[in-house]
């Protein structure tokens, strides 16, 4: 029997619980020992033991419970699970603590204990200010104003004036945060759908969009959250436009915010993890080998700390970003074969984090795995991973990744000597990329080369011609995308100089170290 979305949600919630959370729930629910609660413990245990949701199996395990009774029990269990988790997690979550204080104040106020409510609100206000939680601060002040307006509290004129001024100030902060976070969100969404800007028109569009949506006071903001969303907006803006220097600069500012106020790592761990990911990506794009190593070690140290273990969601993303960076490290140093040792481990852990990993992350990992295998000379396995990307029917998800998967797929068949497939494959890939408006000069030249009828005696001169045509485009901003995804130049150089691709890339890494050192 097919599960409905709500049932799926309940099953996922039960399966996401850790041992300590399951133990706490049992203690929490058995305190009341009501007959109905004992039944939901039976349901909880049955769900916990199911490898996948099957309502027929569940009803059999819970007999004589009927299907209508089961639906009610599920609703009750879901609510009790959330209530138990809220109780358990309050101590480690600022937002839950503030919500709890607000709830206490409302309870006291409704009981007529206005002065006690005001005392709690005063403490909550200081706590919210210390953690830059202006949305909660607005709710605290709103309740304070309500009490002061409807009742005689004997508050001084000075306190009343201060309350009115605070309300205006907080309103301004919230308005600024909303505008900047909206801009960051919309830019990120643009990238997820389209990838990097493809041409002058994309560049013009994204510049105009950014200019129109950037608040007038953006560069004078001082609040932590305002600065965070400002730096995020510039990060996505720069990354889309492939201005990797600007991308690095604002990724660095993003992490500097946390270094200025380390307490915010525990308050906003999700943004910290994402910031570290972007900083590592910026080092990768600029081939800042030494800084990449330093940042990765720092991120790995964070992953081992208690701070990183606050929630499954943040743990999952820390795992994703650290392993993505480890693979990137092998890609930029040419140690492809060594990098292959990561693949089985990452795939196994991706299964464990299946509840928290979206399709986009899976596509990116499959592309990285394919690139490692391609660089290591295992073209057949590379094709297997590329097929996983090409077979995903998600029209608005990473068009650029879909395009480059097809181009790398074509190159892998070329390496395997499947020349009889080249004409039909190249036409298919060309049509796909042209339809997506994703062709750059580098890609045009690649297609021109790959579509030729190959004579082994003329192959090296043709490769030398291709290298001369694309080498000078390496610093062109609209062409860097091709090099970031495929490192086409290193591949062509490996053919021209008769060396493995890994050796060519590693040579560039060694040369860079000598230059810096």
DSSP 343-378: HHHHHHHHHHTTTT--HHHHHHHHHHHHHHHHHTT-
- For tokens 């006291």, what's the residue? 108
**pLDDT surpassing 60 at residue 486:** yes
Coil, helix or strand at residue 454: coil
Q: How far apart are CA 125 and CA 105, in angstroms?
A: 12
Residue 132: CB atoms within 10 Å: 19
Q: How far apart are CA 236 and CA 274, in angstroms?
A: 12
Q: At what angle do helices 224-240 and 244-260 cross, to 10 degrees?
A: 160
Q: What pLDDT score was predicted for residue 39?
A: 83
Q: Is 265 exposed, middle or buried (0-12, 13-18, 19+ CB in 10 A)?
A: middle
Coil, helix or strand at residue 316: helix
| Whole-number percent of the chain with pLDDT over 70 | 89
Contacts of 250 (CB under 8 A, 6+ apart): 231, 232, 234, 235, 238
Max Cα–Cα distance, the chain, nearest Å: 97
| Residue range 62-92, pLDDT digits in tens | 888 888 888 888 888 999 999 888 888 888 8
Computed over every residue of the chain, the mean pLDDT equals: 85
DSSP character for 418? -
Residue 396: CB atoms within 10 Å: 9
DSSP 39-81: HHHHHHHHHHH-SS--HHHHHHHTTT--HHHHHHHHHHHHHHH
User: Residues 149, 154, 159, CA angle at the centre, nearest 5°?
Assistant: 75
Q: How far apart are CA 226 and CA 240, in angstroms?
A: 21
| Residue range 218-233, pLDDT digits in tens | 888 989 999 999 999 9
Give yes or no for a contact between 134 and 173, defined as CB atoms under 8 angstroms apart. yes
Q: What pLDDT score was predicted for residue 117?
A: 92
Structure tokens, 9: 């949600």
Domain with CATH 1.25.40 in the chain: 349-517
| Residue range 259-312, pLDDT digits in tens | 999 999 988 999 999 999 999 999 998 889 999 999 999 999 999 988 777 767
Q: What pLDDT score was predicted for residue 345?
A: 93
| Whole-number percent of the chain with pLDDT over 90 | 36
Q: What pLDDT score was predicted for residue 483?
A: 59
Give yes or no for a contact between 155 and 148, defined as CB atoms under 8 angstroms apart. yes
Task: Provide the pLDDT confidence category of residue 395 given band limits of 50, 70 and 90.
Answer: low
3-state SS of 432-448 is HHHHCCCCCHHHHHHHH
For the residues 120-142, what does the mean pLDDT come to? 90
**Which tops the pLDDT comparison, 384 or 202?**
384
Structure tokens, 339: 């990098």
Q: How far apart are CA 470 and CA 367, in angstroms?
A: 23
| Residue range 1-17, pLDDT digits in tens | 344 444 478 898 998 88
| Residue range 304-353, pLDDT digits in tens | 988 777 767 788 889 999 999 999 999 999 999 999 999 999 999 988 88
pTM of the predicted protein model: 0.79
Structure tokens, 143: 């309740």
**pLDDT surpassing 60 at residue 467:** yes
Task: Provide the pLDDT confidence category of residue 193 given band limits of 50, 70 and 90.
Answer: confident
Give yes or no for a contact between 282 and 319, defined as CB atoms under 8 angstroms apart. no
Give yes or no for a contact between 450 and 426, defined as CB atoms under 8 angstroms apart. yes
- For tokens 């029209």, what's the residue? 395
- For tokens 């979305």, what's the residue? 5
Q: Is 440 exposed, middle or buried (0-12, 13-18, 19+ CB in 10 A)?
A: buried
Q: Which contacts of 313-320 are long-range, i.e. CB under 8 A and separated by 24 or more positions?
A: 313/270, 313/356, 314/269, 314/270, 314/273, 316/353, 316/356, 316/357, 317/270, 317/273, 317/274, 317/277, 317/356, 318/273, 319/349, 319/353, 320/353, 320/357, 320/361
For the residues 121-136, what does the mean pLDDT come to? 90
Q: How far apart are CA 207 and CA 192, in angstroms?
A: 17
Give the range among 146-150, 213-217, 317-321 with minimum mean pLDDT.
146-150
Q: Which of 502, 493, 486, 496 is nearest to 460 (CA)?
A: 496
Q: How many residues are present in the chain?
A: 517
**pLDDT surpassing 60 at residue 419:** yes
Q: Considering Cα of 270, then 276, then 279, then 284, what sign does the dihedral take?
A: negative
Q: How far apart are CA 248 and CA 418, in angstroms?
A: 41
Question: Integer distance in angstroms from the first to the last C-alpha of the chain?
Answer: 65
For the residues 20-45, what does the mean pLDDT come to? 80
Topology given in CATH for the domain delimited by 349-517: 1.25.40
| Residue range 38-67, pLDDT digits in tens | 788 888 999 998 888 888 888 888 888 888
**pLDDT surpassing 80 at residue 435:** no
For the residues 431-453, what does the mean pLDDT come to? 71
């Amino acid at each position: 029997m097919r599960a409905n979305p709500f049932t799926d949600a309940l099953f996922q919630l039960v399966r996401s619980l850790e041992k300590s959370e399951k133990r706490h729930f049992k203690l929490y629910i058995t305190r009341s020992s009501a007959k109905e609660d004992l039944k939901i413990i039976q349901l909880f245990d049955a769900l916990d033991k199911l490898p996948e949701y099957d309502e027929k199996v569940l009803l059999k395990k819970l007999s004589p419970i009927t299907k209508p009774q089961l639906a009610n029990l599920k609703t009750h269990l879901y609510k009790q699970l959330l209530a138990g988790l809220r109780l358990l997690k309050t101590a480690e979550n600022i937002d839950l603590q503030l919500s709890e204080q607000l709830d206490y104040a409302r309870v006291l106020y409704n009981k007529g204990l206005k002065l006690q409510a005001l005392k709690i609100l005063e403490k909550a206000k200081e706590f919210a200010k210390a953690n830059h939680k202006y949305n909660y601060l607005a709710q605290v002040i709103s309740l304070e104003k309500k009490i002061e307006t409807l009742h005689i509290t004997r508050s001084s004129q000075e306190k009343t004036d201060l309350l009115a001024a605070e309300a205006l100030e907080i309103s301004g902060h919230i308005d600024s945060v909303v505008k900047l976070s909206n801009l960051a969100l919309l830019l990120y969404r643009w990238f997820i759908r389209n990838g990097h800007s493809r041409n002058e028109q994309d560049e013009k569009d994204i510049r105009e969009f950014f200019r129109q949506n950037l608040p007038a006071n953006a560069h004078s903001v001082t609040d932590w959250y305002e600065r965070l969303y400002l730096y995020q907006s510039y990060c996505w803006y720069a990354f889309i436009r492939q201005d990797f220097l600007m991308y690095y600069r604002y990724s660095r500012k993003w992490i500097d915010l946390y270094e200025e106020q380390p307490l915010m790592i525990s308050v906003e761990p999700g943004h910290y993890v994402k910031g570290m990911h972007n900083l590592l990506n910026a080092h990768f794009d600029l081939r800042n080998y030494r800084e990449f190593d330093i940042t990765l070690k720092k991120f790995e140290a964070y992953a081992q700390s208690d701070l990183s273990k606050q929630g499954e969601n943040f743990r999952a993303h820390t795992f994703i970003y650290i392993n993505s960076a480890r693979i990137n490290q092998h890609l930029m140093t040419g140690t492809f074969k060594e990098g292959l040792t990561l693949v089985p481990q990452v795939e196994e852990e991706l299964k464990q984090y299946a509840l928290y990993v979206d399709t986009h992350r899976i596509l990116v990992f499959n592309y990285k795995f394919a690139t490692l295998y391609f660089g290591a000379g295992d073209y057949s396995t590379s094709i297997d991973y590329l097929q996983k990307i090409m077979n995903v029917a998600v029209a608005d998800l990473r068009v650029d990744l879909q395009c480059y998967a097809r181009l790398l797929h074509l190159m892998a068949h070329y390496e395997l000597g499947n020349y009889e497939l080249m004409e039909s494959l190249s036409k298919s890939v060309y049509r796909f990329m042209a339809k997506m408006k994703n062709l750059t000069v580098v890609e045009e030249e690649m297609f021109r080369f790959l579509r030729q009828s190959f004579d082994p005696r003329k192959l090296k001169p043709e490769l030398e011609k291709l290298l001369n045509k694309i080498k000078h485009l390496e610093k062109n901003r609209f062409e860097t995308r091709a090099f970031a995804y495929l490192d086409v130049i290193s591949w062509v150089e490996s053919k021209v100089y008769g060396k493995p691709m890994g050796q060519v890339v590693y040579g560039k890494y060694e040369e860079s170290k000598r230059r810096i050192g």
